[in-house]
Structure 1
Amino acid sequence: MSWLVALLVLSALIFFHELGHFAAARAFGVYVEVFSIGFGKRLVSFQWLNTRWQISAIPLGGYVKMKGQDDLDPGAISCDTDSYNCKKPWQRIIILLSGPLANFALAWFFFYALALGGPQALSPVIGNVLHESPANIAGLQKGDLVLSINEERITQWNEISDAVKSSIGTLTFRIERGNTVHILTVNPKISETQNIFKETIQQRMIGIAPSGDTHTLQFTPLTALSYATEETYTSSLLIFQSVQKLLSGIVPAKEVGGVVSIAKITADAAEYGWMSLFFFSALISVNLGVLNLLPIPALDGGHIMFNLYEMIRRKAPSEAVITQLTIGGWVLLLGLMSLGLYNDITRLMQ
C-alpha cells in the first residue's frame, strides 16, 4: 500500500509541475496539444480543454507538448499565432519558469500544512557536555534547559547551534536547572568538524549535544506563513548546494539516487503518517523545481538559457546549435538517470 501511495505522490508532483507550464502557456494563448504524466506508450487518455490528457507507460516524469515546441525535434517550428515559438522570449521564459515555480508553491503548501499540524522539534535541553570544553568550563551541565542566549529567547535546539556558529566573543546563557535559573558566560572556541556534505570545516563550538527531547511547535495560520516560507527557502538552498558539491566532486557520484530511491523514501515516509509523508513530498517537490532550473538544454533551465540568449543577442540560436545541445542534454540526463538507477540497485543488493 505504501508503494502505491509513493507512486501517487510522485505522479502528483509531476502533475503540478506540468500544470504550471500548462497554465502559463494557455495564459499566453499557446495551444497545448498533449498533457502527459509519464513517457512512452499511451495507456489512458481523454480530451479536455482542447488538449489530450494522458497517462503513459513509463512513470519517470511527464511533459506538456505545446504547438511549435518539440524536444525530440528542436527544429520543429510553427508560424501560427498560437504556437510557442512565436511568442516573445520573455513570455516563453515565464512559461518555462512556471513548472519549477509550481513545485516550489506545492512544497510551500506542504510545509504550511505541516506547520498547522504541529511539527516536532528538538528541545533546547543539553544531553551531553564534553570534558574540558567551553561549555564544561563555563559550568553547563547535562539536563540544563537553555532559555536564552545573549537575551535572545531560545525555543529549539537548532537556535542554539545557529547562535554559537554566528557568535562573536562570549555568549551569555540563561539556563534553567531544576527549579532555579542560572546565568553562565561561555566562550566558544574554533574547532574542526564536518558539515552535512562531510567537508572538514572550522566552526565556533562549545561542546554540547542535545538530549533528544522533543516538543510540538505551535503555529497560528498567520505564523505558519513564515514557517512555510523559511522551510521552502532553506530546503531549496540545500539542494542547490548539493548540486554544486556534486559537480565539484565533494559529494561522490555514489550518493546520486534515482527514481527507486525516491519511491522507497516516499513509501517509508507514508508508513510513519501524513506529516512525515508531507515533509518528504515537500523536499522532493523542491528537488524537482531546482533540478529543472539547471542549465541543461533538455530541461527548463536550458530552454531558459536559449531564450535569454535570444533576448540579449536579438536573434535565436541556430537550429543546428539547439539540436546539438539538446541531444547532448538528453545524453547527460540519461547518463544521470542510469547512474541513479545503478546506485539504487546497488543499495538494494547490499
Structure 2
Amino acid sequence: MFDFFWNLASFIVALSILVTVHEYGHFWVARRAKVEVLRFSIGFGKPLCRWYDKQGTEYVIAMIPLGGYVKMLDERVDDVPIERRHLAFNNKPVLSRIAVVAAGPLANFLFAILVLAVMYMIGVQSAKPVVGEVQVNSRAAMANVQSGDHILMMSDKEVETWQDVTFSLMSHLGEEYIEVKVQDAQQQIAIRKINVNGWKLDKQDEAPLHAIGITPFRPALTLTLGHIADNSAAQQAGLKVNDTLLAVNNQPLSDWQQFVQIIQSSANQNLTLSIERNTINQSLEITPHERRADDGTLQGFLGVVPLLEKWPDGYIETRHYGPWDSMVLGAEKTFDLIRLSFDMIGNLLSGQVSVKNLSGPVGIAVGAGNSVSYGIVAFLSFLALISVNLGVFNLLPLPVLDGGHLMYYIIELIRKKPVSEKTQELGFKVGAMVLIALTCFALLNDVSRL
C-alpha cells in the first residue's frame, strides 16, 4: 500500500512540474504576442485554489492532476467585444499563432536541457558498460561479443553508460548491423559487428540488450541479506539485514540462486533456515508465502534482497561537469532523446517495436516512484526523459494536440487562408478518437504489467 501512495505522489509531483512547464511555454509566448490570457490551469475539474494577476488572468490549481491548459481570448469560443478583438488569439497573424502553439513542446525540451545540466553538475554515478554474460546463439554471440568486453563506441558514437548503449542500439532498429568498438579482457581493441537485420522489439517490456543476448556485468549476489520487506515471511520469521544464509533443512547453500530455487519450490512449507548473525550460528523456522508467477504457477516468496559483492576497481565512475559543459551535455542528450523518441514512433508504425511496449499513467507513476527512491539524480533523469516524451507526443499531427494545430496553421501559411471550420472539427473528432484509443491501449498494457 505504501508503494502505491508513494508512486501516486511521485507521479503527481512529476506530472505537475512537466505540465506547468509546458503550459507556461504557451502562456509566456501568448503574452508577448499580445494575446489576452483568460486562465492558466494546472489540472482539470473543480478548482482547489485560484488567484488573479494585474492583467486579469485567472490562475487555477484544479482537483484532477492529469494535465492543464491555457485559455486565451478567442472569437471561435467567446463573445468578444469589438474593442478587444485585437487581443483574440484567432485574430493574430499565423506566425504568431504558430509560435504560441509550438512554445509548449519547446518549453519541455528547454526544461529537459536545464534538468540534465543540473544533473551533470551534481554528478552522475554510473557503471561502465562491461559485458557480463552473452547468451549462446544470440546476435551478440554470433558477433563474437564476449564476457568482459568493455563497450567504447556504438557505430561512431562514444558511450559511457549502459543507458547510452541501449539508446544507441534502439536507434539502429531496422538497419542491417551495428558496429561496436570494444576493449576486451586482455585490453585489446576490437570491432564487433552485430547483425540487427530483422530484429524487432516485439515482446512486452523486453530490454533491447537482453533481446540481442547481452547481460551487463554486475557483481555476484552474496548470501548476506541487504533488505527485508515489511510484512514478509522473512520479517515474520525474524530474519534481519546482514544475516548470512548457511543452509536450508540442513542442506548447505553454495550460492543465492540455489536458495531462490529452494524457496520458490516450497510455498507454504515449513523450513528450517540456518543463518549466521553477528558471528553466531542459529536456526529459524520459516514458511515462504505464495505468489503466482508469470506462467501461472504458485511459487514460494520470502521478501528478501541479497547484498552484492563489491564492484571491481574502476567499474563505477562519478562524473562532474562545470556549468557550461553541463549545459552542452544537456543539450546534446536532449537532442538524442528527441531523435530517439521520433525514431520509436516510426518503429511503432512500422512494426519494429510492438505496441505492447506502450506505457500509460500507471507505468509513468511506477517509474516516477522508483526514480525518487533511487535519489535526486535518478529523478532528474526521469523528469528529463518524460519531458522530452511529452514534448514529442504533443508534436504529433493529431488535431487535439499542439502538432495538429501546427499542421492546420502551416497549411494556412501555405494556402494563404485558414482550413475550414468543418474540416477542423472533423479532424478534432478523429484525433480525439485516436488519442482515446492510444490511452486505453497504454492503460491495458499497464494493467497487464501489474
TM-score class normalised by the smaller sequence: 0.7 to 0.9
> Residues 242, 23 of structure 1: CA spacing in aligned structure 2 closer, same or farther, 3 A cutoff?
same
Q: 2:391 aligns with which of 274, 289, 293?
A: 289
Q: CA deviation at 1:98?
A: 0.4
Q: CA deviation at 1:121?
A: 3.4
Are 1:34 and 2:136 counterparts?
no
Q: 1:117 aligns with which of 122, 125, 129?
A: 122
Letter in 1 for 2:327: L
> Residues 246, 144 of structure 1: CA spacing in aligned structure 2 closer, same or farther, 3 A cutoff?
closer
Question: Which consecutive unaligned segments of at least 5 residues does structure 1 have?
Answer: 199-206
> Residues 187, 119 of structure 1: CA spacing in aligned structure 2 closer, same or farther, 3 A cutoff?
closer
The DSSP-based 3-state class of the residue aligned with 1:43 is strand
Cα distance in 1, alignment partners of residues 394 and 321 from structure 2: 32
Which structure shows the higher helix fraction?
A: 1
Q: CA deviation at 1:140?
A: 9.6
Q: 2:414 aligns with which of 303, 312, 315?
A: 312
Conserved in 2, the CA contact under 8 Å of 1:77 and 1:85? no
Q: 1:8 aligns with which of 10, 13, 23?
A: 13
Q: How does 1:1-350 map to 2 (within 5 A)?
A: 2=6, 3-48=8-53, 49-68=55-74, 80-123=85-128, 125=130, 127=132, 143=148, 177=186, 188=193, 190=195, 194=199, 211-212=217-218, 213-348=315-450
The DSSP-based 3-state class of the residue aligned with 1:222 is helix
Q: CA deviation at 1:191?
A: 6.7
Cα distance in 1, alignment partners of residues 389 and 323 from structure 2: 26
Conserved in 1, the CA contact under 8 Å of 2:178 and 2:196? no
Which position in structure 2 is the counterpart of 1:201?
Answer: none
Letter in 2 for 1:54: V
Q: CA deviation at 1:69?
A: 6.6
TM (norm. structure 1) is 0.79
101-110 or 41-50: which moved more?
A: 41-50
Question: Which consecutive unaligned segments of at least 5 residues does structure 2 have?
Answer: 170-176, 204-212, 219-314
Cα distance in 2, alignment partners of residues 167 and 340 from structure 1: 34
Q: CA deviation at 1:327?
A: 2.2
4-13 or 182-191: which moved more?
A: 182-191
Conserved in 2, the CA contact under 8 Å of 1:14 and 1:62? yes
Cα distance in 2, alignment partners of residues 77 and 248 from structure 1: 46
Cα distance in 1, alignment partners of residues 129 and 199 from structure 2: 22
Pick the structure with greater CA Rg: 2
Pairs aligned (count):
331
Cα distance in 2, alignment partners of residues 250 and 291 from structure 1: 19
> Residues 192, 8 of structure 1: CA spacing in aligned structure 2 closer, same or farther, 3 A cutoff?
same
Identical columns (%):
35
Letter in 1 for 2:72: M
Letter in 2 for 1:313: R
Cα distance in 2, alignment partners of residues 88 and 341 from structure 1: 39
Conserved in 1, the CA contact under 8 Å of 2:38 and 2:58? yes
Cα distance in 1, alignment partners of residues 153 and 354 from structure 2: 39
Conserved in 1, the CA contact under 8 Å of 2:43 and 2:62? yes
Conserved in 2, the CA contact under 8 Å of 1:78 and 1:85? no
Q: CA deviation at 1:291?
A: 0.6
Conserved in 2, the CA contact under 8 Å of 1:147 and 1:175? no
